[in-house]
């Protein structure tokens, strides 16, 4: 029995720094796993639509024709389903969360136009791939003809 | 390591035998666990669960919303909660509940929302115009999908056939 | 001889922790009868099984309640795994129990803080919640979320905790023990706290059994019942688990049971970290629940025994999923403790069942 059992702890706390932070003046400490908002490395995105299909709150909209990827950050529930299922691994979960605002905001990302060097590199790669396929087809046709002849 | 009860004991009974079965569990000192309902074609399938430490047994029977069931809240006082809830969500009638809220236990927008075949739900659906029912159902589900509730089941199946399998 | 007045208490009241309504019939500051009423935050979450498939529904079960969030996702996952016959890898079972015991710690510390606030000891309330932040920091470091963890899913757990991180968690919890001991000593030994708790809301063992109470509320009245002692999941790996039982049956006993369960949870986590097996953390789920299969399961949540029932219908949407929370069982016991108590003790009696109305109403 007795009274004032909390005196020691109260005196200790009196001389320590406060346990709370003056957020938002002081930035909060996030861990590497903290779930904030979803970010997209748009130049790697192939607009397959898997993230749109799997999102439980329909926060993501993908348009393949326009090459745009739209997210409503206020609908996102940070379940990381989209990040886990992305085939190109271009989606990541960033730790800082959407700040409070007076209006809901929808973020649209559009795939940037290819620079002339990138376009030239892409065309060269496509040409090389087409040449490889043609060569493989020709080889197969030659093998079939040989087998038929025998 | 086992995760859940093994074996699972489900006893199928007639609804007229309910009172006798519950009295038998009460006499043997078993603890009441739960009443739950599932909507089926013939009405509502009710599940009464009782436990005595590790053993857990479930009584299963089907009832329609016109027949009245005797309440067991005189044997197990906390049943009043589950019987009121089952009445409000499924439309099952109970007689003699110790604290009877008479349909006001849960504030629901449409009567018997979990059982669209009950008499109360059908009466309100025919009375209300279609726009109201759509608004009431949209408040339950928070997805802005264009083709919503009256064809709720078919639209979700169409969507599932478009999606890749889980 | 006084006149009877009816005072409506709740659903919004500064000292009431949860939105429930009580009609108190009082006569000269003594409560004669209390009529409960709930239903203010019914969201109809059980109907969402027809809209979200069984893999996505775990996200809905997590968001039923902020305090017992992990417990509901764990109970749902266990029930659906039994429905489909999925074997969960042992490491996943151990990780689940570790997170669940951390969840129990944070829930009980939250309750201790609310209890202190209920009888006016605000400093103690603040200290309990300051200490609880350590547990929430562990949650954020391991799963990314402080309250809604998104850690459990059907087939196992979503992410792993490395063995060195587990050792760090045990060190943090051991450091917490000393400070927590000071708080517990204040709750159990301080004269002013005891004068508000001892003898308040007494429920004998017979009354408790008749009202079918569960959880720490029942264990404080002498009923020796704890689902963890049946060994489901990784609880079966514990060497010697004894539920904490008290025979005093009043508010002080309930405070004692919950306060000591926090220390027991630290011991359980330590034991499981020592015995942690290596291996997979997730089992891929194939197929859908078969038609007509029903499964029931139980889980010891911080508030008591929680009952889950699942029924499949051959599609990827479950036919029915039912959650019966411990608070719905304890309401009848609470109404009984309220009969004959002082008006000033009403919030304490409501708090001693640790009500969680958002789980109860779903």
pLDDT of residue B128: 53
For residue B4, the model assigns a pLDDT of 62
**Cβ-Cβ contacts under 8 Å, A13 against chain C:** 127
The number of folded domains in chain A is: 2
pLDDT at C107: 92
For residues A81 and A139, membership in a common domain is answered with no
Whether residue C38 is contained in a domain is answered as no
- Set of chain C residues whose Cβ sits within 8 Å of the Cβ of B28: none
Residue B9, strand partner residues: B57
* Nearest residue, CB atoms, A19 vs list C130, C142, C189: C130
Q: Which of A1, A10, A35 is facing C144, going by the closest CB pair? A: A35
pLDDT at residue A101 in the model: 80
The mean-pLDDT minimum among C62-66, C129-133, C170-174, C234-238 falls in C234-238
pLDDT average, residue stretch B37-50: 85
pLDDT in tens, C1-47: 578 888 888 788 887 778 888 888 988 888 888 888 888 888 888 88
One domain for residues A78 and A43: yes
Q: What is the pLDDT of residue C192?
A: 86
Share of chain B above pLDDT 90, in %: 0
What local confidence, expressed as pLDDT, does residue B61 receive? 86
Confirm or reject contact between B165 and chain A (CB < 8 A). no
B135 band by pLDDT with thresholds 50, 70 and 90: very low
- Taking CB atoms and an 8 Å cutoff, what residues of chain A touch B164? 50, 53
Q: Which residue from C minimizes the CA distance to A79?
A: C150
Give the pLDDT of residue C110: 92
Identify which of C127, C140, C190 has the shortest CB distance to residue A34.
C140
> Is A125 part of any domain?
yes
What does the pLDDT read at residue A22?
85
Report residue B165's pLDDT band, with 50, 70 and 90 as the boundaries: very low
Instruction: State the pLDDT confidence band at C103, using cuts at 50, 70 and 90.
Output: very high
**Does residue B163 register a pLDDT over 70?**
no
pLDDT digits (tens, 9 = 90+) for C67-81: 888 999 999 999 888
Total domain count, chain C: 1
Q: Quote the minimal CA–CA distance from A60 to chain B in Å.
A: 12
How many B×C Cβ pairs under 8 Å? 121
Residue closest to B91 by CA, chosen among B124, B59, B60, B58: B124
What is the Cα–Cα distance from C327 to C307, expressed in whole angstroms?
11
pLDDT (0 to 100) of residue B2: 52
Contact between B142 and A57 using a beta-carbon 8 Å cutoff: yes
pLDDT at C90 over 60: yes
A103 and A39 together in one domain: yes
Does the residue C32 lie in any domain? no
Of C82, C330, C361, the CB nearest to B4: C82
Residue B5 pLDDT exceeds 70: no
How do the pLDDT tens digits run along chain A, 150 residues long?
567 777 888 888 888 888 888 887 888 888 888 888 888 888 888 888 888 888 888 888 888 888 888 888 888 888 888 888 888 888 888 888 777 788 887 887 777 777 777 778 888 888 888 888 888 888 888 888 888 877
| Average pLDDT score over residue span B82-110 | 82
pLDDT, tens digit, 9 for 90 and up, residues C264-309: 999 999 999 988 888 888 888 888 888 888 888 888 899 888 889 8
> In whole angstroms, what is the distance from residue B134 CA to residue B148 CA?
7
CATH number at residue A64: 3.30.70.3270
pLDDT at C162: 86
For residue B157, pLDDT beyond 60: no
For position C155, which CATH number holds?
1.10.645.10
Q: Which residues of C touch B1 (CB under 8 A)?
A: 90, 93, 231-234, 236-237
Q: Can you give the pLDDT at residue B158? A: 39
Asked if B164 and A53 come within 8 Å (Cβ–Cβ), the reply is: yes
Q: Which residues of B touch C49 (CB under 8 A)?
A: none
What is the mean predicted confidence (pLDDT) over B150-154? 39
Which residue of C78, C285, C317 is in closest CB contact with B4? C78
Pick A88 or B118 by higher pLDDT. A88
Quick check: C213 pLDDT over 60? yes
Range of the domain at C144: 48-337
Q: Which domain holds residue A149?
A: 114-150
Is A71 in the same domain as A108?
A: yes
On whether residue A70 sits in a domain, the answer given is: yes
- Supply the DSSP string of B88-151, one letter for each residue: HHH--EEE--SS--TT-SS--SSSSTT-TTSHHHHHHHHHS-HHHHHHHHHTT-----SS-GGG
User: Which residues of chain C does B81 touch, with a Cβ-Cβ cutoff of 8 Å?
Assistant: 328, 331-332
Kindly state whether B109 is in contact with chain A, defined as any CB-CB distance less than 8 angstroms.
no
Contacts of C50 in chain B (CB under 8 A): 152-153, 156
Q: Which residues of B touch A53 (CB under 8 A)?
A: 163-164
- A53: contact with B, CB 8 A cutoff: yes
ipTM (interface predicted TM): 0.81
**CB-based contact, A57 to chain B, within 8 Å:** yes
For domain B9-142, give the CATH number: 3.30.460.80
The reply to whether C357 falls in a domain is no
Neighbours of chain B (3+ CB pairs under 8 A): A, C
Instruction: Render pLDDT for A91-109 as a digit per residue (tens, 0 to 9).
Output: 888 888 777 788 887 887 7
Contacts of C182 in chain A (CB under 8 A): 5-6, 8-9
Of the residues A35, A55, A92, the best mutation for testing chain C's interface (the one with the most C CB atoms within 10 Å of its CB) is: A35
Out of B36, B106, B166, closest to residue C309 by CB:
B36
Q: What is the mean pLDDT of residues C347-351?
A: 86
Cβ(C297)–Cβ(C83) below 8 Å: no
Residue C245 lies in a domain: yes
Residue B67 has a pLDDT of 83
The pLDDT value recorded for residue C100 is 92
Q: Do B49 and C288 count as a contact with CB atoms less than 8 A apart?
A: no
């Amino acid at each position: 029995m007795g009274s004032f059992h909390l005196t020691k702890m109260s005196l200790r706390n009196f001389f320590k720094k406060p346990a709370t932070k003056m957020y938002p003046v002081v930035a909060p400490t996030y861990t590497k796993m903290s779930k904030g908002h979803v970010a997209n490395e748009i130049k790697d995105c192939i607009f397959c639509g898997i993230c749109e299909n799997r999102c439980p709150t329909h926060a993501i909209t993908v348009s393949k024709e326009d090459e745009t990827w739209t997210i409503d950050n206020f609908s996102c529930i940070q379940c990381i389903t989209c990040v886990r299922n992305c085939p190109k691994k271009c989606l990541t979960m960033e730790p800082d969360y959407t700040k409070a605002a007076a209006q809901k905001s929808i973020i649209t990302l559009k795939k940037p136009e290819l620079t002339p060097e990138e376009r030239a590199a892409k065309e060269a790669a496509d040409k090389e791939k087409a040449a490889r396929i043609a060569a493989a087809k020709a080889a197969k046709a030659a093998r079939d003809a040989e087998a038929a002849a025998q | 390591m086992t995760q859940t009860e093994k074996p699972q004991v489900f006893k199928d009974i007639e609804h007229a035998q309910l009172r006798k079965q519950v009295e038998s569990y009460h006499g043997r000192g078993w603890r009441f666990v739960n009443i739950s309902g599932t909507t089926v074609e013939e009405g509502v399938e009710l599940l009464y669960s009782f436990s005595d430490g590790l053993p857990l047994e479930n009584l299963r029977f089907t009832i329609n919303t016109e027949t009245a069931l005797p309440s067991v809240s005189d044997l197990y006082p906390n049943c009043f909660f589950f019987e009121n809830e089952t009445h409000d969500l499924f439309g099952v009638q109970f007689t003699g509940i110790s604290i009877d809220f008479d349909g006001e236990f849960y504030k629901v927008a449409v009567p018997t929302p979990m059982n669209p075949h009950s008499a109360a739900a059908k009466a309100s659906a025919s009375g209300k115009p279609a726009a109201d029912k759509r608004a009431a159902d949209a408040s339950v589900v928070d997805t802005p999908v264009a083709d919503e509730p009256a064809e709720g089941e078919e639209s979700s199946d169409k969507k599932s056939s478009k999606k890749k399998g889980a | 001889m006084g006149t009877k007045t009816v005072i409506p208490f709740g659903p919004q009241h500064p000292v009431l922790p949860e939105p429930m309504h009580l009609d108190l019939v009082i006569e000269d500051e003594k409560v004669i009868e209390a009529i409960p009423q709930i239903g203010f935050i019914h969201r109809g979450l059980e109907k969402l099984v027809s809209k979200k498939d069984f893999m996505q529904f775990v996200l809905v079960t997590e968001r039923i309640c902020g305090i017992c969030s992990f417990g509901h996702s764990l109970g749902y996952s266990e029930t659906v795994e039994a429905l489909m016959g999925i074997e969960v890898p042992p490491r996943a079972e151990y990780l689940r129990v570790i997170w669940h015991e951390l969840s129990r710690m944070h829930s009980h510390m939250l309750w201790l803080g609310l209890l202190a606030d209920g009888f006016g000891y605000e400093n103690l309330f603040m200290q309990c919640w300051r200490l609880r932040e350590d547990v929430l920091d562990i949650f954020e470091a391991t799963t990314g979320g402080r309250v809604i963890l998104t850690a459990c899913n059907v087939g196992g757990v979503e992410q792993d905790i490395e063995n060195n991180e587990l050792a760090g968690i045990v060190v943090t919890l051991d450091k917490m023990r000393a400070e927590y001991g000071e708080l517990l000593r204040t709750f159990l030994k301080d004269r002013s706290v005891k004068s508000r708790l001892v003898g308040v809301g007494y429920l004998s063992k017979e009354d408790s059994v008749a009202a079918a109470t569960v959880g720490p509320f029942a264990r404080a009245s002498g009923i020796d019942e704890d689902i963890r002692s049946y060994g489901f999941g990784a609880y079966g790996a514990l060497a010697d688990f004894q539920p904490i039982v008290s025979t005093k049956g009043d508010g002080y006993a309930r405070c004692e049971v919950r306060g000591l369960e926090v220390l027991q949870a630290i011991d359980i986590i330590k034991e499981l970290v020592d015995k942690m097996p290596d291996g997979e953390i997730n089992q891929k789920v194939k197929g859908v629940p078969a038609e007509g299969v029903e499964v029931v399961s139980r889980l010891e949540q911080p508030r008591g025994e929680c009952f889950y029932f699942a029924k499949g219908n051959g599609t990827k949407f479950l036919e029915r999923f039912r959650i019966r929370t411990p608070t719905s069982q304890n309401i009848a016991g609470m109404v009984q403790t309220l009969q004959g108590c002082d008006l000033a003790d009403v919030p304490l009696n409501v708090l001693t069942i640790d009500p969680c109305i958002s789980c109860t109403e779903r």
